[in-house]
Amino acid sequence: MTSVPAELWDVSRLRFEETPPPALTTGQRTAMDRRWAVGVRANPTLFDGPVAALTGLVRDDAGGLSVSWTRLTYRCRYLRGIPDAPVVSGLFVAVLHPDGDGRLLVGRMSLTTSVPGRWQPPGGTLEPSVEGAALDLDVLRRHAARELAEETGSDTPADDLVPGPVVRDSRGGVGFLFTAPPRPARELRERQAESASADTASGANPEFDRVELIGSQSELRSLQGPVASYLELAAGRFFEA
C-alpha cells in the first residue's frame, strides 16, 4: 500500500457497521499464508489472533464518521503488495497518558512485536468482541484500558478514559485516541517497570522495552528510532490544549 500523510479528525458521532470479510482468490490466500509463515519464522511470537479490520470509511461535514469493519486475523496484514488483493487496513486504539507536568508517556516497541523499535503511545490493534457483538465507543474504551494496563501496569478504569480525536496513519489504519487522567511521573515509570518485570518473570515479552515522558514536539522528534506516523499530530494537539 502506498504511504499517505497521517491525518487527525475531530469526530462528534461514530457509527460502526460490520461487513463480510473480503473474498480472496486461492492464489491470494496461498500467497498470504506463505508470507505469514515467513514472518513467523522470523518472529515466532507472532500470533494469528482475531482483529477488527477496516473495510470502509465515510466522513460527513457535520463531524460524523461511519466505519465499516470486518473480522479477520493478523495474517491479513500480509495481503499488502499481493497483486489485486483487497486493501485491508487496521483499526487500533491509543491512550495519551500525561504525567502531572503535562508530559506524555510514550514507549518503544520491543524486538518481539510486529513493529520493533517504534515509539508510540500505549495501545494496540482493535480485537473484536464475541461473535455477533457490535463495535461501539464503550468497546473501544474498554479495549484501550486493557492495552494501557498490559503495557504500562496502569489501573486506570475504562470509564476514566476521555475520547479524543480519530487519526489515520500513513498506511491507512484508523485509530481512536483516548486521554487518561494525569499521574505522577514516578508512578508512571514505576508501574511500567513493575509490569515489564512481571511479564519477564512469567516468560512473556514486554511490549515496551523503554518508556519516555515527552513535553514538546521537539522532544518527540529527538527520540532515536521510528515514531508512529500519527503521533506527532496527536501529541501536537495535546500540547496545544
**Measured in Å, how far apart are the chain's first and last C-alpha atoms?**
33
What 8-state DSSP symbol labels residue 158? G
128 confidence band (pLDDT: 50, 70, 90) = confident
Tell me the pLDDT of the chain averaged across its residues. Answer: 93
Cα dihedral 8, 61, 140, 96, rounded to 10, equals: 30
The three cell numbers of residue 238 are 495535546
Q: What is the pTM of this model?
A: 0.93
Q: What confidence tens digit (pLDDT) does each residue in 191-228 have?
A: 999 999 999 999 888 999 999 999 999 999 999 999 99
CATH number assigned to the domain with residue range 7-240, chosen from the 4 options 3.90.660.10, 3.40.50.720, 3.40.50.740, 3.90.79.10? 3.90.79.10
- Name the least confident of 7-11, 88-92, 160-164: 88-92
Amino acid 2: pLDDT: 60
Using the predicted structure, report yes or no on whether residue 1 has a pLDDT greater than 70. Answer: no
Strands 50-59 and 119-120: unpaired
Which residue in the block uniquely carries the three cell numbers 478514559? 161
Q: Do 161 and 182 contact (CB within 8 A), yes or no?
A: no
Which residue in the block uniquely carries the three cell numbers 487496521? 90
Q: What confidence tens digit (pLDDT) does each residue in 170-181 have?
A: 989 999 999 999
